[in-house]
Structure 1
Amino acid sequence: MPRRTIVTRLHSMAPSACSTSRWTPAIWLAGCRGFLARAPDTHALAPGGQLYERVAHHAPIATVAAALPTLHSDHHQSATHEGRAMERMLQAMEVFARIVECENFTRASSLLGIPKASASLLIQQLEVHLQVKLLHRTTRQVRPTPAGMTFYEHCLKILLDITDLKSKIGSAAEQASGRLRVELPGDIARQLMPYMARFRLQYPDVSLQISTPRHSSNLIRDGIDCAVRLGDLEDSIHFSRQVGTYQLITVASRLYLSRHGCPETVQNLSAHRTAHASHQSDSRPWEFGFALDGRSTRHRMPESIAFDDMDLLLQYGLQHGGVIQVWDTVAAPYLASGRLKEVLAHCRPRARPIHAVYACRTRESMALRVFVDWLSSALEDTIAPRPPATAAEERTDTAEPACALP
């Protein structure tokens, strides 16, 4: 119904001021309350409200109409209320999830860009609504209760589904832009260097801030948007996506093998000089991994020398220092040239996963999605495991003779 028609009907329902000395705007509005029940801005009907005051002073219809709240159908008002309630619940779930991840109200509210008091109020309202205690609070730390942990896990699933849905609906219109702080293992970063320029050309509005720390950072505390982790992940509150795999192989220089013999079994390695990697998140110094009879196993080696950089480890092997385990893609050019020889190829360790890890999927932007997609594609091109070389593919080098493998 047009607003002017509504106001005309309201005025027609009011008696003239002289017909009764007892008539007041309040009495008139009380009589019209059923007609106005659909008005969401009911405070306008109270003394002091715009509609009340303008009717009290017998303002023209047009003036009263300007103060009249927009009227909605009962269905629309109900839907609006439910929509706001759902939005409030989702906000509370996101705040709760971030508090669990940060273990701290102050840090979580800072990351979300809301006052700490607002975060605390949301959690209180959430606990009242659910009628259960969700968090244990101390002066130093905040931990979820058993019920809180269950609720947290369901929150993550719901928030993840919503983000995926938004991504599918809005990805066509949204442009990838913004800054990403990315943490990469140094070995991965070197492999990706030839592809970085391609990413910048494809997504010029995405800026990357890349770090290669020796030890894994705390994503939330250090503000990392995405981190690449090698090997199997421990139980974590973070989201992850497998973006590739890598394959370790056991190699040595041909000259070393000609002098010290070629190990035919894993046990034979105890009689050889070895060098190890100490920088990978899933590596264990002084141990080599293998797959025997379909099972993964680790073989303890005598302590000798370990490097926190794969390039240094590779150079040590190329200089005839001993037997090493490196990525097959790193060793590939030296295997092709004959400078290195793979040993114990029949018990290669299983390929290991590479994961992109991020703290909160609800904060995932288009920039992060396109970066992770690009990362998966680039890793497929650079370090995807390759099958062992056949005898026909191996090069024989007289200066550094090869040993025969079983």
Structure 2
Amino acid sequence: MDKFESMKRFVTVAQVGSFTRATEMLGLPKSSVSASIKSLEQQINTRLLQRSTRQINLTRDGERYLTKCLSILEQVDSLDSEFQQPSLISGCLHVDMPSRFAANILLPHLNSWYERYPDISIKLRCNDQRADLIKDGVDCVIRAGHLGDSELVAMPLTQLTVINCVSADYAEKYGKPQSVNDLAHHYLIDYAQNLQTQTAVFEHIAQHHLQLVEMKSRLQVNNTDAYLYACLSGLGIAQLPAMSAEPYLARGELVEILPDYPAPVIPLSIIYASRRQVPKRLSLFMAWLQELTNNAVKTNLIMQARSRQSATK
């Protein structure tokens, strides 16, 4: 085996911190990966990994070597891609995104990606929780909300319009609130990623400022699918992205409430590791995803306009 292949195996193990997870990602026997790294250590005459029964840590030399390896591998990948036609670029992308985004935006159009780039496969993980790009071996993640400071790069996709909703059954049973003062008599489905928040709040914009109204809540969820279906099941008020809510509003399964108290828009971004040179297959995927999202936003705006016209007739 050449040194270049051993370097790639070392990088995978170092990033995920586990031989078991690395071998799963590489599709290779554990003994083969372990032997590659031992051979690499012998060639450069230094220990790269500190092994124990529970975990694997980089030595100081290993940390330096990993940085150099990443730079070399990125340059080689970029160089290879530069001289290839886009349709001939190959490889695998590891992508992480919320399940609703995958269902509404990505999966209905994924065949068009394979038509353009038949040799770029995708490993898709649907998760609302923040991913560790390096440790989880992820190329990019799609996340909603404001992002904190980090060494990662965030490429804006769009701003998600949010609609205040209840199910038709909930509206019939409890009525529709006409003002924020009426919220004291209603229940809110509380969405929280870490399930640690103590107080459920209804968010809305008034006079260009964010206002928070504390509400009663009997249910807290940390998943976008659960949030939508809890609302459809009549368990309370939800503040749903228009992309998710619009089909159910059109069928009368959901009802919009408090249109004069709009929730703040939610920024949607593609997040990827800071690199001097982004692999060509990743830059192609991000551009394609931007195109898909723009088209979905336009379609949704048209649907919303038609719904409002029908409601006024």
Alignment of 1:98-247 (within 5 A): 106-107=62-63, 109-110=65-66, 112-113=68-69, 170=82, 175-191=88-104, 192-247=106-161
Give 1:262 shift. Answer: 1.8
Within the candidate set 377, 386, 396, 2:301 is matched to: 386
Q: Distance in 1 between matches of 2:65 and 2:156?
A: 30
Give 1:304 shift. Answer: 1.6
Q: What are the Cα deviations for residues 22-53 of structure 1, in whole angstroms up to 9, with x where unaligned?
A: xxxxxxxxxxxxxxxxxxxxxxxxxxxxxxxx
Would you say 1:359 and 2:273 are equivalent positions?
Answer: yes
Would you say 1:348 and 2:265 are equivalent positions?
Answer: no
Give 1:303 shift. Answer: 3.2
Within the candidate set 253, 276, 286, 2:190 is matched to: 276
Within the candidate set 239, 256, 259, 2:170 is matched to: 256
Q: Distance in 2 between matches of 1:107 and 1:395?
A: 64
SS in 1 for 2:62: helix
Q: Distance in 1 between matches of 2:112 and 2:232?
A: 32
Amino acid at match of 2:156: Q
TM-score, scaled to structure 2: 0.67
**Unpaired stretches in structure 1, ≥5 consecutive residues:** 1-101, 116-161, 397-406
Amino acid at match of 1:186: S
CA gap 1:370/1:269 in 2 versus in 1, 3 angstroms: same
SS in 2 for 1:222: coil
Alignment of 1:12-161 (within 5 A): 106-107=62-63, 109-110=65-66, 112-113=68-69
Q: Distance in 1 between matches of 2:103 and 2:227?
A: 15
Higher strand proportion (structure 1 or 2): 2
CA gap 1:214/1:351 in 2 versus in 1, 3 angstroms: closer
Corresponding residue of 2:8 = none
Q: Is the Cα contact below 8 Å between 1:246 and 1:352 reproduced in 2?
A: yes
Identity of matched residues, %: 23
SS in 2 for 1:220: coil
How many residue pairs match? The answer is 245
**Unpaired stretches in structure 2, ≥5 consecutive residues:** 1-57
Q: What are the Cα deviations for residues 379-401 of structure 1, in whole angstroms up to 9, with x where unaligned?
A: 223356638566542399xxxxx
Across the aligned residues of Structure 1 and Structure 2, the Cα RMSD in angstroms comes to: 3.6
Which has the higher relative contact order, 1 or 2, with Cα contacts under 8 A spaced 6 or more apart? 2
Q: Distance in 1 between matches of 2:83 and 2:215?
A: 51
